[in-house]
Structure 1
Amino acid sequence: MGQLTRLFVISRVFFMVFLISGTAFAETSPIMPITPPTSPVAAAPDDVVGQAIQAVLEPMQSSFPPLLTSGKHQRVDVSRVVMDFYSHRNFRAAWTDGRDVTQLLKSLNETDIDGLVPTDFRVAELAQAQLALHATAPTPAQAAAFDLAATRTHITALLQLRRGKVDPARLDFHWNFDPVGVDPREDVNSFFTALDDHDVARAFAQAPPQEAVYRNMRVALAHLRQVRDAGGWPTVTQGQSLKPGMDGVAVAQLRARLAAGGYLEAQTGKRTDYDEKVIAAVKKYQSEQYLGADGVAGAATLAALNVPVEARIDQVRVNMERARWLLYKLQGTFVIVDIAGYKVALYRDGQPVWRSRVQVGKPFRSTPVFQSEITYVTFNPTWTVPPTILVKDMLPKIQQNPGYLAANRIRALDREGNVLDPAGIDWYNARGITLRQDAGPENSLGQVVIRFPNDYAIYLHDTPHRELFAKSMRATSSGCIRVENPLQLVELLFNDPVRWNSEGIQKQLANGKTENIKLPVKVPVLLAYWTVDMSNDGRVTFKPDVYGYDSPVLRRLNMPTELPALDLQQAATSMVVSGQNN
């Protein structure tokens, strides 16, 4: 073969395998590559398929991206993992047993139970290619193309089940939930161990989160799809509030909708009255949906009842994706703030030992999603007014009421920290002024602040605005998390029944001094965002998406996974040109 012909063949093969192995990547996977071999490897001299696989991968090895780093968040391209996998096995084909391929195809089709989209993985294309290979004697290039495609699909699907399809760092550049303590290389190696053991189905069963909450969401998703396939929930006529004592067609519709959702026993006849059972069912629904539980089906309640089941299916899918991002973090002792659920919990050994209601940031001053570690507690804190609150909230009040500062025990300070006379300040041109509220029960931070390092000046704290905890919707703060029972949490965080019991904490508060006390052990804290809950009886319930975070996740979750097409004919043509078709 002449040099020009060889160059043509190499370029054709390179173009074909570029498509097969997918080195051009759109969505990377949150894993690190398995460790490449330390010594050179090559396919066995008598392994023609292995030689074809090696011919595909090695020319592109230098183009595989290195470990990508965005802040602390590390990701790597799947193609890197494909290369390392075949290097470890001397480029030997992995999918020579038809039973493994059958398990793979079945497992890919079943990814819909986890809210993923099976067509993303080109299942039909793989199945047709498998049949084509069995129907005729495949060339080494065709066998190699199929093997590479199956491996890449295998990795991609398992990583989506294990770590999520959507890269959360692309949705929020502050994202810092890295898999500390969980070596992702172990995940990848377990995938291939299952393949070597001819138990591909095991890898797919073990890849998703194993926690009960995830399994419950999976059951809820299946149930909602059954509701959808049966025609969806009954709708309730909107336009007027439905109240106890009313009677009519709309109440009958309300009864039917509540029964379909499991809140009311199915009626034996066409009852149209709004009786005590309907009141109780409406209150239960309202409570679970974070609506005011007054037993009246007003505009907000009717709107929630009439959300199509398809939208609720998507809501569960979005939260299953969030679970794949985060559930591996939930180990040992930790505090988790459920932002959209307005609650906080302390867990020990995976079990909640304390819960409390919280107030979080208003939608235009949203509480950010991030992780950190609680390091110390401030007793009797002063409050330095953040610049945004000073400009937008405080200055208008001071301008209208010169006595506002004194009434709220707030001091004005210059840049050097000297106390200024408020009467001598031009509050319409207040530059270089800091406002600081003295410690005390009416301090905006209350009696205690629970602190953890972050870039947002966010912390957990007490509050004098306790009346707001009675509201169902508690997005009422300027970003920080107000805790209903913070002293209980402080006692549990110190975990010292001798020095820092309830009596010891009260003694510390009674001295009136502003003092920072370090925790003996740092406690991880996760500020997370979930828009579904699971009721005690296993029913899925839905929260308002107060910050509008669901839509971007759903949009990316529904975007096609960019797996390259598998073209066996092109593979055969390329190798025929090179004269290696036998």
Structure 2
Amino acid sequence: MNKLYFFLVICIFVGCKKDAPKIVPVVKKTAPAIILTDERKVDIDTAFIGTFKSETLKQFYNSSENKTVWGDLKKRTYVLSQLENSEKLGLNPEDYKASRLKKFESKVTKLSDTELATYDILLTYNFEKYLNHLYKGKLDPKKLYRDWDLEEKTFDVNNVLIKAFNKNKLDSIVDNIQSKSHTYKQLLKALEIINSFPDDDVKNIDALSKITLRDTNSALINIKKRLLFWKDMNGRDSLTKIYDQKTFESVKEFQARHGLASDGVIGPGTISALNYSKEKRKQQIIANIERWRWFTTDLAENYFIINIPDYSLNVVENQDTVLTRNIVVGTSKRKTPIITSTLKTVVFNPTWTVPPTILKEDVVPAMKRNRNYLANKNITIYDSAGKVVDPSAWNENKPGNYRYIQSPGFNNSLGLMKILFPNNHSVYLHDTNHRNYFGRNNRSLSSGCVRVENPLELAEHILDNSERYSKEKIDTIIASKKTTSAKITKKYSLYQWYWTAWSEKNQLIFRADIYNLDSDLYAKLRN
């Protein structure tokens, strides 16, 4: 028996040993070796490389056995040209020491070994910084904003650079690593367009009241100058104080480019847009270029893309926009978050649970004034045990002890449906009981979620099941007032993003910076 017991112990010990996790060695990714040519090269002091505190730089020169690599004039010229002209891509040449590098190049044949090594390291360090900025932006959105949930973009700059270096294809590297998205290209075009405008010196426009067709107003002189400058008005103009038909049509064109109501009425919104200088618009474009570098480089095959300041949602399938919807987004105090996610579920006849912020800022003050406030909105109060609480018994000093749920229906705050997707902000797309909002020009009105116009047609399209979710079947589900969930089987990504400038057909397009992000971002970029 003792022998049998000993045998079992040994078996158990061996068995546990087999189940123990194996220690997998961490393989350090190394860059390919750099192919050196016969030009002048010198050894580099590794201690000097260490002063840059860059692991990437250290690995780069490990690949050249710590020898200088930029002996080829053609390669140096390409790098220097890119850094000097980085402004065309919205970057600042002096972020990459362009002037200092140019001075090194002007006396390259007379440089000592130490100076040559310094020049070589500075070329590599600043070109890699430039490539990183082109691929994923200069700034980190997670350090700037709490409500921006974007996947971190990783970039093996050494691998990309050394491969291009070895194959003598440095001239294609910059184009290859930049975003291929249409909007990003439109932004670069917008920067090119605005750089073609002359410097402007038009005075600020002061208009205390609205100006309509046939009015006479001294502010019209400067208004016409601005319209001529931005090429919304063509030819010459007598610059009178009269609001004539030609100016009226030019104002409507200007308003359309800026996402304003294109009615020809010159009000505060139009005056504010007219008062933007060329320099401020250029800064706005550069801020938007930076933002687009934060976004994912490869868009999905099918996706919803929301531009928050444009109040628009586009459904794109196989690079073709198949549906467009007006939307309502969060106010400046309750911003709609920036999110990349995947659509999961359509919920018809949703209930609505009052979220903490709305409870604190809206519901509690209203209930203190009128105990029937929630009942009038078809919202039921539940205690922690799930029992219905009469409004008269509601404890206004402990409002967080209850749940507040609105029943399904046409007047539910979420309307007749919502679309769910994973995120950290408890937001979703949904219908609304304020359907008149879609007729407004400024639609920054929600508490953070995105409200969608005509959502049932959108649901029918993305569910793509004529048997279970045809228009007639959806109407039947809605009529039942029963909460019903439908899984979205076709994969749609969601890009809920923010941009206020681009170009279309060689025209500059702008939108109001509803969350006041542009100026601050530009200042940080140039700090």
TM-score by length of 1: 0.79
Percent identity between the aligned chains?
A: 28
Counterpart for residue 184 of structure 1: 155
Which residue in the other structure is 2:482 paired with? 513
Task: Work out whether 1:213 is the aligned partner of 2:183.
Answer: yes
Of residues 324, 340, 351 in structure 2, which corresponds to 1:382? Answer: 351
Deviation at 1:159, TM superposition (A): 1.3
Deviation at 1:51, TM superposition (A): 4.0
**Distance change in 2, residues 1:429/1:212 (3 Å):** closer
Which of 252-261 and 269-278 deviates more?
269-278
Which whole-Å CA distance do the structure 2 matches of 1:283 and 1:343 have between them?
20
Query: Which one is further off, 518-527 or 355-364?
Result: 518-527
Within 1, Cα distance between the matches of 2:402 and 2:423?
A: 24
For 1:170-181, what aligned pairs fall within 5 Å after superposition?
170-178=143-151
The answer for the alignment partner of 1:549 in structure 2 is: 517
8 Å Cα contact 2:303-2:494 kept in structure 1? yes
Q: Structure 2: how far apart are the matches of 1:243 and 1:116?
A: 42
1:279-298 superposed matches below 5 A: 279-298=248-267
The corresponding residue for 2:101 is 126
1:224 equivalent in alignment to 2:216: no
Flag the 1:483–1:424 CA change in 2: closer, same or farther, 3 A: same
- Can you list the C-alpha shifts for 1:213-232, whole angstroms capped at 9, x where unaligned? 323322322332332x4435
Counterpart for residue 336 of structure 1? 305
CA shift for structure 1 position 106: 1.1
Aligned residues of 1:43 and 1:91 also touching (Cα < 8 A): no
Task: State the partner residue of 1:21.
Answer: none
Matches within 5 A, 1:467-482: 467-482=436-451
The yes-or-no answer on 1:116 pairing with 2:116 is: no
User: Counterpart of 1:6?
Assistant: none
* SS of equivalent residue, structure 1 residue 52: coil
CA shift in 2, pair 1:390/1:494, >3 Å: same
- 1:40-94 Cα offsets, whole Å, 9 max, x none, are x9999x999564355644xx49x96xxxxxxxxxxxxxx2222222223433432
Structure 2 residue matching 1:130: 3-state secondary structure: helix
Q: Which residue of 2 aligns with 1:391?
A: 360
- The answer to whether the aligner puts 1:156 opposite 2:129 as a matched pair is yes
Gaps of 5+ in 1: 1-32, 65-78, 560-582
Letter in 2 for 1:225: N
SS at match of 1:258: helix
Do the aligned partners of residues 400 and 149 (structure 1) sit closer, same or farther apart at CA in structure 2, a change above 3 Å counting? same
Cα deviation, 1:288-307, whole Å, max 9, x if unaligned, reads: 32334332212331122011
1:24-52 per-residue CA deviation (whole Å, 9 max, x = no partner) reads: xxxxxxxxx992269xx9999x9995643
Distance 1:422 1:341, change over 3 A: same
Query: What SS is found at the alignment partner of 1:295?
Result: coil
Within the alignment, does 1:142 sit opposite 2:110 as a pair? Answer: no
Equivalent pair of 1:331/1:350 in contact (CA under 8 Å): no
Moved more, 470-479 or 192-201: 192-201
Letter in 1 for 2:275: N
* 1:1-80 matches, cutoff 5 A: 35-36=29-30, 49=41, 51-52=43-44, 54=46, 56-57=48-49, 60=50, 79-80=54-55
**Matches of 2:139 and 2:47 in 1, distance apart?**
32
Residue 93 of structure 1: which of 64, 68, 90 is its match? 68
- State the partner residue of 2:341: 372
Residues 39, 72 of structure 2: 8 Å contact kept? no
Any idea what the Cα deviations from partners look like across 1:206-261, whole Å, max 9, x if unmatched?
3332333323322322332332x443556545344322112465324322322322
Residue number in structure 2 paired with 1:72: none
- Contact 1:533–1:541 at 8 Å: present in 2 too? yes
Does residue 466 (structure 1) correspond to residue 435 (structure 2)? The answer is yes
CA distance in 2, matches of 1:426, 1:173: 33
Instruction: Report the Cα offset of residue 439 of structure 1.
Output: 0.5
C-alpha displacement of 1:449: 0.8
Q: 1:232 to 1:107 in 2, by over 3 A?
A: farther
Q: Deviations over 1:408-454 (max 9, x none)?
A: 21111101211122233344654512211100111000110101122
Q: Quick check: 1:412 aligned with 2:381?
A: yes
Alignment partner for residue 483 of structure 1, among 452, 466, 473?
452
| Ranges in structure 2 where 5+ consecutive residues have no aligned partner | 1-26
Quote the offset at 1:314 in angstroms. 0.3
- Residue in 2 aligned with 1:317? 286
The answer as to whether partners of 2:41 and 2:71 remain within 8 angstroms in 1 is no
Give the structure 1 partner of residue 471 of structure 2. Answer: 502
Residue equivalent to 1:202: 172
CA deviation vs aligned residue, 1:526-545 (integer Å, no higher than 9, x gap): 2211112434x331222221
Report if aligned partners of 1:256, 1:266 keep a CA contact under 8 Å in 2.
no
Aligned pair in 2 of structure 1 residues 431, 150: CA closer, same or farther (>3 Å)? closer
Structure 1 position 468, deviation (Å): 0.9
Which deviates the most, 46-55 or 325-334? 46-55
Kept after mapping to 2: 8 A contact 1:47/1:92: no
AA aligned to 1:405 is L
Q: Distance in 2 between matches of 1:502 and 1:538?
A: 41
CA contact under 8 A between 2:135 and 2:155: conserved in structure 1? no
Is the contact made by 2:34 and 2:64 (CA closer than 8 Å) also made in structure 1?
A: no
Query: Secondary structure of 2:344's partner?
Result: strand
Decide whether the 8 Å contact of 1:460 with 1:482 is kept in 2.
yes
- Larger relative contact order, structure 1 or 2 (CA cutoff 8 Å, min sep 6): 1
Structure 2 counterpart of 1:178, one-letter code: E
- Provide closer, same or farther for how the CA distance between residues 321 and 42 of structure 1 changes in structure 2, counting only shifts above 3 A: closer
Q: Is the Cα contact below 8 Å between 1:315 and 1:532 reproduced in 2? A: yes
Task: Summarize deviations over 1:431-490 as a string: whole Å, max 9, x none.
Answer: 512211100111000110101122211110000101111111111111111111222322
Residue aligned with 2:310, SS: coil
AA matched with 1:558: R
Q: Is the 8 A contact 1:280 1:295 kept in 2?
A: yes
Report the count of equivalent residues.
Answer: 500
Q: Aligned partners of 1:83, 1:494: CA distance in 2, in Å?
A: 52
- Change beyond 3 A, Cα 1:169–1:528: same
TM value normalised by structure 2: 0.87
**TM-aligned CA distance change 1:100 to 1:197, over 3 Å:** same
Distance between the aligned counterparts of 2:413 and 2:189, measured in 1?
43
Q: Distance in 2 between matches of 1:498 and 1:191?
A: 53
Q: Which whole-Å CA distance do the structure 1 matches of 2:490 and 2:158 have between them?
A: 33
SS in 2 for 1:352: strand
SS of corresponding position for 1:93: coil
Classify the secondary structure of the residue corresponding to 1:340: helix
